[in-house]
Amino acid sequence: MVAGQILTLNAGSSSLKFALFEPLRDDATRCRVRGQLEGIGAAARLVVQTGDGGQPARRQWRADEAAPRDVRAALQVVLAELDSRGLLDGLRAIGHRIVHGGTEFSSARAVDDALLARIEGLQSLAPLHQPYGIACLRAARERFVHAAQVACFDTAFHRTQAFVEDTFALPREYYDAGVRRYGFHGLSYQYVAQRYAQLDPLRGRGRVVIAHLGNGASACALRDGRSTSSTMGFTALDGLPMGTRCGQIDPGVLLWLMQERKMDADAISDLLYRHSGLKGLSGLSNDMRVLRASESSRAREAIEYFVARLAREIAALAASIGGIDALVFTAGIGENDAAVRAGACASLHWLGVRVDDAANAAAVGGREARISTADSPIAVWVVPTDEESTIAGQTLDVIEPGAAAA
Rule CB under 6 A: is residue 332 a binding residue for ligand ADP? yes
Position among 216, 241, 384, 393 found at the interface with ligand ADP (CB under 6 A): 216
- For residue 165, the one-letter residue type is E
Residues 29 and 21: their CA atoms lie apart, in Å, by 6
Pairing of strands 16-23, 5-11: antiparallel
Rule CB under 6 A: is residue 383 a binding residue for ligand ADP? no
- For residue 53, the one-letter residue type is G
Active site (annotated) includes residue 270 = no
Q: What is the Cβ-side half-sphere exposure of residue 106, based on CA atoms within 13 angstroms?
A: 7
Position among 289, 346, 349, 377 found at the interface with ligand ADP (CB under 6 A): 289
Rule CB under 6 A: is residue 386 a binding residue for ligand ADP? no
What letter would DSSP give residue 318?
H
Q: CB–CB of 178/295 below 8 Å?
A: no
Q: Which stretch binds ligand ADP (CB under 6 A): 83-91, 133-141, 169-177, 285-293?
A: 285-293
Least distance in angstroms from the C-beta of 114 to ligand ADP: 31
Give the active site residue among 26, 83, 113, 154: 154
Position among 20, 333, 363, 404 found at the interface with ligand ADP (CB under 6 A): 333
Between the alpha carbon of residue 94 and those of residues 134, 145, 217, 369, 394, the distances in Å are 13, 11, 26, 32, 11
Rule CB under 6 A: is residue 214 a binding residue for ligand ADP? yes
The angle subtended at Cα 17 by Cα 11 and Cα 19, nearest 5°, is: 125
Position among 29, 215, 282, 394 found at the interface with ligand ADP (CB under 6 A): 215
Least distance in angstroms from the C-beta of 243 to ligand ADP: 6
| Helical segments of 283-371, H only | 288-293, 297-320, 331-336, 338-347, 357-362
Closer residue to ligand ADP (CB): 68 or 241: 241
Q: Which stretch binds ligand ADP (CB under 6 A): 92-100, 143-151, 302-310, 330-338?
A: 330-338
Least distance in angstroms from the C-beta of 150 to ligand ADP: 21
Residues 320 and 59: their CA atoms lie apart, in Å, by 46
Least distance in angstroms from the C-beta of 223 to ligand ADP: 25
Position of minimal CB gap to ligand ADP: 332
3-state secondary structure at position 286? coil
Residues between 351 and 380 that touch ligand ADP (CB under 6 A):
none
Closer residue to ligand ADP (CB): 17 or 92: 17
Strand partners for 6: 21, 93
Closer residue to ligand ADP (CB): 111 or 157: 157
Rule CB under 6 A: is residue 287 a binding residue for ligand ADP? yes
Q: Which stretch binds ligand ADP (CB under 6 A): 91-99, 109-117, 196-204, 287-295?
A: 287-295
Position among 331, 369, 379, 392 found at the interface with ligand ADP (CB under 6 A): 331
**Residue 27: phi, psi to the nearest 5?**
-140, 175
Residues 136 and 151: their CA atoms lie apart, in Å, by 11
Rule CB under 6 A: is residue 288 a binding residue for ligand ADP? yes
How many helices (H) and strands (E) would you count in the chain? 16, 14
Closer residue to ligand ADP (CB): 23 or 216: 216
Position among 336, 376, 394, 395 found at the interface with ligand ADP (CB under 6 A): 336
SS3 content of the chain, % helix, strand, coil (to 5): 40, 20, 40
Rule CB under 6 A: is residue 307 a binding residue for ligand ADP? no
Residues between 218 and 247 that touch ligand ADP (CB under 6 A):
243
Residues 268 and 69: their CA atoms lie apart, in Å, by 26
The angle subtended at Cα 299 by Cα 266 and Cα 314, nearest 5°, is: 80
Closer residue to ligand ADP (CB): 54 or 365: 365
- For residue 51, the one-letter residue type is G
Supply the residues annotated as catalytic: 154
Q: Can you give the binding site for ligand ADP, defined by CB under 6 A?
A: 214-216, 243, 287-289, 331-333, 336-337
